[in-house]
Structure 1
Amino acid sequence: MAQQEQEYQKYYVPDQSPWPIVGAVALFLIAFGAGNFVVEQTRGESGYGGWTLVAGIVTLIVMLIGWFNNQIHESMSGLYSEQLGRSYRQGMAWFIFSEVMFFAAFFGALFYARVISVPWLDGAGNNAMTGEVLWPNFEAVWPLIKTPGGVETEAMGWMGLPLYNTIILLVSSVTCHYAHVALEKQKRSQLIAFLGVTILLGFFFITLQVEEYVHAYREMNLTLQSGVYGNTFFLLTGFHGMHVTLGTIILIVLFLRILKGHFTPENHFAFQAGSWYWHFVDVVWVMLFFFVYIL
């Protein structure tokens, strides 16, 4: 009987928490605000979309701080078992899978526009009359720098800032890996150094992407009003930039915990989860760089 009881481990069930509903409200505000903000920018109008988006981001940050604090306290108090650890790993794996599907939808929209919609407007397949009736002088090329309605823009090349950002993220993936290796070998100084470099590279990426957007708007006339090319460009790069920002915040939290002496080679799933997320963000950018900037 005693041996049978040893086969079962305790499973910590936390008390009721306000953070899930706060997070749901934050995500609703972000989705609602972002949608209205995009529509307002497309129409050249001013409204409440931007402020709603900011309110959602602030609410999300408050939720993350509160929930992270509770999770850290539970972990450091020894409330988690191996069984719960497996649940966390499965949860993180499914979360990353959902993110894969998230970006797959946007890449699908890009491919649909390039391979199907734009050629149709030029009369591809059985749509010869469609092109003649709608826009007789339209030419199906990608990037679509001149829309059927006459809006002209420039294509963002892969040289310069996009290439620099690609190198930055690839290097950050390497430094993140070596930080993980240092943690497993209990080399705290190397862990702090490599993780600190990874965070700095994340900041560099975000800064250069902001500079790229300013250049696109001011000098290239590449905006959300630039037809399907401008829409897909900012949709993909913008959401990826948001993920890099969130990943950098996660790494900062991990960095602060490491400075306080948290994590051991045997117990560091939070760091491992943050590393998974960062590598995922890097892989998405490589695909984005290839399909959005180069092709």
Structure 2
Amino acid sequence: MAQAQGGYYVPHQSYWPIIGTIGVTALVVGIAMYLEGMALGTWVMGGGGLITAWFVFGWFSDVVSEGVRGLYSDQVDRSLRWGMIWFIFSEIMFFAAFFGALFYARMLSVPWLSGEDPATSRLLWDSMALNWPTAGPANAAMEWRPMGPWPLPTINTLILLTSGMTLTIAHHALKDDNRTKLIGFMWATVLLGTLFVGLQAYEYYEAYVHLNLRMDTGIYGSTFFMLTGFHGMHVVIGTLMLLVITLRCMKGHFDPKSHFGFEGAAWYWHFVDVVWLGLFIFVYIL
């Protein structure tokens, strides 16, 4: 049973970590099997995805219930905040690796292969001249076009920036105990996040059908879809988080002095906004 020790809430024993381990393992193994063309890959991946979804819903439901019942002390609140801070830091490192791959390809590999480093150019791709964006020397004859900043990426940038504003307004409304304004601007934020995902899906359609830009379009295609795809996944996760927080706001789970669940989701969403600004500049414009 759950108990309090020194004012710090100690949860009861939980089976959710075991279920989460099984679900995530099955999901990853299923994806690997699918990529290898194994017949059972789709089933294992689907089963792992369902178990993972069950695990997330169940464990988060328990945490929400504990918070609503007032079981969390100020010390627990500080622990949750630090946990969220370190989680976002890990996400920063995650995207830093992909931005680093883009930097390496653009600023080091392409110049080296184009003659800046004579040994590299002569031994690997003699007389090859490359300029970014490029699919790389092995795909030099491939016909494709890069994705420019206008119109879809620019529109999506404005959408995400606007969503950050509506979320901030909702946060101030929560602090002022204005539930009508809070719920209205939270729904606006959720709708803007959903619109962003829809427009990015259409952007991918345009890339594949009209630009011949695919994941196998050399180094440009791989870095483009790696960065924008992982960011899009984070937008989907963030939108789901904001949807849950909006429903909790409607149920009155938060008050002006105690609302870390809201703040944690807001921190995550603002992080997603900042990452997109980096993507917009270094992937679409430069």
TM-score norm. by structure 1 comes to 0.88
State which of 67, 70, 73 in structure 2 corresponds to 1:78: 70
Contact 1:152 1:226 (8 Å CA) reproduced: no
Instruction: Note the alpha carbon deviations across 1:2-27, whole angstroms, 9 max, x for none.
Output: xxxxxx95111111222223333444
Amino acid corresponding to residue 138 of structure 1 in structure 2: M
State which of 108, 116, 137 in structure 2 corresponds to 1:124: 116
- Equivalent in the alignment of 1:105: 97
State which of 72, 82, 91 in structure 1 corresponds to 2:83: 91
User: Structure 1 stretches of 5 or more lacking a match?
Assistant: 1-7
What SS does the aligned partner of 1:21 have? Answer: helix
Instruction: Note the alpha carbon deviations across 1:133-152, whole angstroms, 9 max, x for none.
Output: 43334222111146434333
Amino acid corresponding to residue 215 of structure 2 in structure 1: L
Contact 1:110 1:232 (8 Å CA) reproduced: yes
- Equivalent in the alignment of 2:171: 180
What SS does the aligned partner of 2:116 have? Answer: coil
Change (3 A) 1:139 1:35: farther
Change (3 A) 1:259 1:289: same
Change (3 A) 1:48 1:143: farther
Change (3 A) 1:281 1:272: same
State which of 135, 144, 156 in structure 1 corresponds to 2:125: 135
Amino acid corresponding to residue 261 of structure 1 in structure 2: G
Q: Provide the rounded CA distance (Å) in 2 between the counterparts of 1:34 and 1:178.
A: 40
Amino acid corresponding to residue 142 of structure 1 in structure 2: W
- Alpha-carbon offset, residue 261 of structure 1: 1.5
Contact 2:136 2:219 (8 Å CA) reproduced: no
Q: Provide the rounded CA distance (Å) in 1 between the counterparts of 2:107 and 2:33.
A: 28
2:266 is equivalent to residue 275 of structure 1: yes
- Alpha-carbon offset, residue 215 of structure 1: 1.1
Structure 1 residues 1-295: aligned runs within 5 Å: 9-32=6-29, 53-125=45-117, 128-145=118-135, 147-149=137-139, 150-295=141-286
Instruction: Note the alpha carbon deviations across 1:131-185, whole angstroms, 9 max, x for none.
Output: 2343334222111146434333210001111111100000000000010000000
Instruction: Note the alpha carbon deviations across 1:273-293, whole angstroms, 9 max, x for none.
Output: 000000000000000110111
- Alpha-carbon offset, residue 259 of structure 1: 1.3
Q: What is the root-mean-square deviation of aligned Cα atoms in Å?
A: 2.1
Q: In percent, how many aligned pairs have the same letter?
A: 49
Contact 1:9 1:83 (8 Å CA) reproduced: no
Amino acid corresponding to residue 136 of structure 1 in structure 2: D
- Equivalent in the alignment of 1:4: none
Contact 1:206 1:244 (8 Å CA) reproduced: yes
Amino acid corresponding to residue 17 of structure 2 in structure 1: P
- Alpha-carbon offset, residue 77 of structure 1: 1.2
Change (3 A) 1:239 1:294: same
Amino acid corresponding to residue 68 of structure 2 in structure 1: M
Change (3 A) 1:77 1:277: same
Amino acid corresponding to residue 235 of structure 1 in structure 2: M
Q: Provide the rounded CA distance (Å) in 2 between the counterparts of 1:29 and 1:123.
A: 46
- Alpha-carbon offset, residue 201 of structure 1: 0.3
Q: Provide the rounded CA distance (Å) in 2 between the counterparts of 1:191 and 1:79.
A: 25
What SS does the aligned partner of 1:12 have? Answer: strand
- Alpha-carbon offset, residue 188 of structure 1: 0.2
9-18 or 280-289: bigger deviation: 9-18
Change (3 A) 1:292 1:48: farther
Change (3 A) 1:86 1:71: same
Q: Provide the rounded CA distance (Å) in 1 between the counterparts of 2:40 and 2:120.
A: 38
User: Structure 2 stretches of 5 or more lacking a match?
Assistant: none
